[in-house]
């Protein structure tokens, strides 16, 4: 059991050193993840606005095309009326009515163009500009954080690689159940799963430990954990060894 405890203690030393290296990076990795998420969200919104703007562009072209056809029809009918091409009053009334209907339709189209299409296009264009500016700012912040993280990674890369190699060599020597027990506590304690017992106190939380329990921890016939912080307890004598 003592050897099992010592192996876990060695593993925890490595994990602590790794966590110290990770802590040098601060909240930069989480900032990068957050910025990437926001960037993706902005890009989706931009694409949505572009798509909607494209639809209104198509509507505008359709209205202009319709008005152009209506204008040509008016000119054609007007020419027929002025040149006396119609033979009967009935034919005259039909052409005149077509001209009036065409003018009404053009008026309706111009109203839709002004109050709906152009108005909406102006709003979408402003939104598009705002989103582009925000996206560029987001990209700039992301680049700054990624460069800073890359520099920190470069500074700690060799040490981190060495510690990970040590961990890989050590883990196979540890009992699987012991490792699962350790990892569960280590995850909850953010890389600080083991606490040394010194002068009757847990150095993880400085809670006092009953004398009889201190003796049992020193004997190391089984695993003990701190009743206050939940860390695995190891006697100071083992650490000194």
User: Residues, the chain, total?
Assistant: 241
How close are the terminal C-alpha atoms of the chain, in Å? 15
Q: How confident is the model at residue 135 (pLDDT cuts 50, 70, 90)?
A: very high
Characterize 139-164 residue by residue with b for buried, 16 or more Cβ atoms within 10 angstroms of its Cβ, and e for exposed: eebbeebeeebeebeeebeeeeeebe
Secondary structure (3-state) at 206: coil
Domain ranges of the chain: 25-172, 193-240
Residue 1 has a pLDDT of 87
**Across residues 197-225, what is the average pLDDT?**
94
| Adjacent-strand bridge partners of 132 | none
The predicted structure's pLDDT at residue 238: 81
Strands 194-198 and 201-202: antiparallel
Summarised one tens digit per residue, pLDDT across range 20-76 is 888 888 889 999 999 999 999 999 999 999 999 999 999 999 999 999 999 999 999
Classify 25-172 by CATH class. mainly alpha
Q: What pLDDT sits at residue 83?
A: 85
Rounded to whole angstroms, the Cα distance separating 195 from 12 reads 10
Which alpha helices (H) appear in 83-118, and where do they start and end? 89-112
Whether 226 and 204 have beta carbons less than 8 Å apart is answered as yes
């Amino acid at each position: 059991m003592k050897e099992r405890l010592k192996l876990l203690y060695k593993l925890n030393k490595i994990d602590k050193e790794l966590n110290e290296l990770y802590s040098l990076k601060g909240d930069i990795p989480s900032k990068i993840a957050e910025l990437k998420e926001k960037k993706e969200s902005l890009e989706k919104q931009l694409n949505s606005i572009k798509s909607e703007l494209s639809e209104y562009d198509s509507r505008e072209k359709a209205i202009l095309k319709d008005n152009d056809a209506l204008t040509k029809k008016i000119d054609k009918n007007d020419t027929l009326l002025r040149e006396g091409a119609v033979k009967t009053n009935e034919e005259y009334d039909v052409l005149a009515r077509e001209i009036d209907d065409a003018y009404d339709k053009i008026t309706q189209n111009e109203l839709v163009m002004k109050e709906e299409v152009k108005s909406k296009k102006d709003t979408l264009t402003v939104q598009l500009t705002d989103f582009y500016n925000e996206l560029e700012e987001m990209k700039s912040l992301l680049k700054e954080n990624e460069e800073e993280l890359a520099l920190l990674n470069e500074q700690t890369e060799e040490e981190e690689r060495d510690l990970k190699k040590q961990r890989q060599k050590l883990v196979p020597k540890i009992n699987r159940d012991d490792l699962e027990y350790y990892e569960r506590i280590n995850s909850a304690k953010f890389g600080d799963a083991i606490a040394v017992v010194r002068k009757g106190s847990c150095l993880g939380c400085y809670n006092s430990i009953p004398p009889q329990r201190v003796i049992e921890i020193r004997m190391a016939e089984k695993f003990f954990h701190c009743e206050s912080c939940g860390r695995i307890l190891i006697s100071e004598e083992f650490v000194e060894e």
